[in-house]
Amino acid sequence: MKRLHLHVSVPDIEPAIAFYSTLFDAPPSVVKHDYAKWMLEDPRVNLAISSRARATGIDHVGVQVDSARELAELATRLKAAGSTTFDQEATTCCYARSDKSWVTDTAGVRWETFFTHGEATAYGEDEVLPAPAKAACC
């Protein structure tokens, strides 16, 4: 079963943990000095926050899947729709080991489809995604 993923960059992790814990009436399932994650069933979402060096606000959205097969299906659909994906295998990010396929939508929003297959002791970093090609004017 797929789960919606949202990653929000926050200026200060502690007040953000308090806010989202109150909003969802649940503590985070993972807490680090710069990161927290809620794996909620209602709503079915993987909400992650971090105080990393990106601009505050929505960092990216995504779909978490339960298997490598589901990840391949999503990446195949994106490619069939004409989207260019940026694929990563066995990458470390957000204190987890995952395989990922990234795409930027038509509004410039970064979407991550991923299958997590282990934990990591370091936050890690995602590679910078290539900028989407801009359409020629006129």
pTM for the model stands at 0.71
Q: Which amino acid is at 92?
A: T
Question: What's the chain's length in residues?
Answer: 138
Instruction: Kindly tell me the burial class for residue 83, based on how many C-beta atoms sit within 10 Å of its own C-beta (0-12, 13-18, 19 or more).
Output: middle
> Nearest-CA neighbor of 101 among 53, 47, 60, 42?
60
Give the full edge-to-edge strand order of the sheet including 30-32: 30-32, 35-41, 44-50, 3-9, 57-65, 110-119, 96-104, 86-93
Supply angle C-alpha 85, 88, 93, rounded to 5. Answer: 120
CA distance 86 to 36: 25
Q: How many CB atoms lie within 10 A of CB 50?
A: 21
34-43, 102-111, 123-132: range with lowest mean pLDDT: 123-132
Convert the pLDDT of each residue in 69-119 to its tens digit: 998 898 888 877 767 787 877 675 666 677 888 888 877 888 888 888 766
